[in-house]
Structure 1
Amino acid sequence: MTILNLLFSLLLLFNSPIKVEKEDISIDPVISAINNNSSSDLAKFFESSISLNVNGQQGSYSKNQAEIVIRDFFKKNPSQGFSIVYSSETNPSLSSFIGDYLSEEGTFKVFIKVSQQESILRIYSLEFVKG
């Protein structure tokens, strides 16, 4: 009888569904960094290499180079408001966001693509396109 109980327990252990929930990572610190024109806070979320398009200046940049390009953009186009208008999750670890960035120079569409590795949010593509 003890062996039967042991086998039954093992069967339940290996056949029981294990629910692994993805920890939702908030995009709020990224929104705040853009709203506050903080290239250093925004760069904390950059991948080591990031695809960047800022007003037609596009390419693949290192994290440090991208921060300099973004700092220059913020200096020339100070934020008068930023908000996310659309978000999409293509799979559990990839998400895309579209936002509106308002400045004296006009409105820019912002396209943000992020990956989630464990509990870390990383921006691998960022675009500011004048609308």
Structure 2
Amino acid sequence: MKRILFQALVFGWLMLISVAGQSQGEVIGSISGALRNASSRELSQYFGGTVEISINGDRQSYSATQAEFVMKDFFAKTAPSSFEIVHQGGSDGGVPYAVGKYKSKDAIYRVFVKMKSANGALRIDNMEFTKE
């Protein structure tokens, strides 16, 4: 009886981890699509209450609404020709992140997106665009 209970608990735990990982992948995929399509509106759906955005070292915290306008301006000035996720993972503390390559007509940027869980959903906490 104990063995069956233990197996059921392990199975349930593995299913929970699988669903959480799938959710993170879906969110990162949606963020990637928004960056690829230069859609500040789509991207803003994943912003937390405040978002720290850094563009070439100029780092500031914004409300979600302000961050949408900052990204709209960035996309207008540096429209993407492509965007791809190069790496994704999580810190030891369980903070999910993704690293990508954003190519525009004039420059290539390394993009770092750090997320946090808020009310059971993953939200963008920090975005860094660094020109290569």
* TM-score, scaled to structure 2: 0.80
- For residues 31 and 47 of structure 1, the distance between their equivalents in structure 2, rounded to whole angstroms, comes to 17
Structure 1, unmatched stretches of 5+, are 1-8
Structure 1 equivalent of residue 71 of structure 2: 70
Offset at residue 47 of structure 1 (A): 0.4
Residue deviations 1:42-73 (CA, integer Å, cap 9, x gap):
01000011111023331111101111111000
Distance in 2, matches of 1:51 and 1:125, equals 5
Q: Are residue 100 (structure 1) and residue 101 (structure 2) matched?
A: yes
AA paired with 1:106?
A
Q: Tell me how far apart the structure 2 counterparts of residues 60 and 117 of structure 1 sit (CA, whole Å).
A: 17
Q: Which residue of 2 aligns with 1:36?
A: 37
Which residue of the partner structure matches residue 122 of structure 2?
Answer: 121
Displacement of 1:89 after TM fit?
1.4
> CA contact under 8 A between 2:48 and 2:118: conserved in structure 1?
no
Let me know the Cα RMSD of the aligned residues: 2.2
Misfit runs of 4+, over 6 Å: none
Classify the secondary structure of the residue corresponding to 1:80.
strand
Q: TM-score, length-normalised on structure 1?
A: 0.81
* Other-structure match for 1:51: 52
Q: Could you tell me the percent identity over the aligned residues?
A: 29
Which AA in structure 1 matches 2:36? N
Name which one, 1 or 2, has greater alpha-carbon Rg: 1
1:22-43 per-position Cα deviation (integer Å, ceiling 9, x unaligned):
3221111110000000001001
Unaligned runs of 5+ in 2: none
> Partner residue of 1:83?
84
> Residues 93 and 117 of structure 1 are in contact (CA less than 8 Å); yes or no, is this contact kept in structure 2?
no
CA distance in structure 1 between the aligned counterparts of 2:117 and 2:94, rounded to whole angstroms: 5
Paired letter, 2:109:
F
Give the superposition deviation at 1:120: 2.1
User: What SS class does the counterpart of residue 80 from structure 2 fall into?
Assistant: coil
Q: Within 2, Cα distance between the matches of 1:56 and 1:129?
A: 7
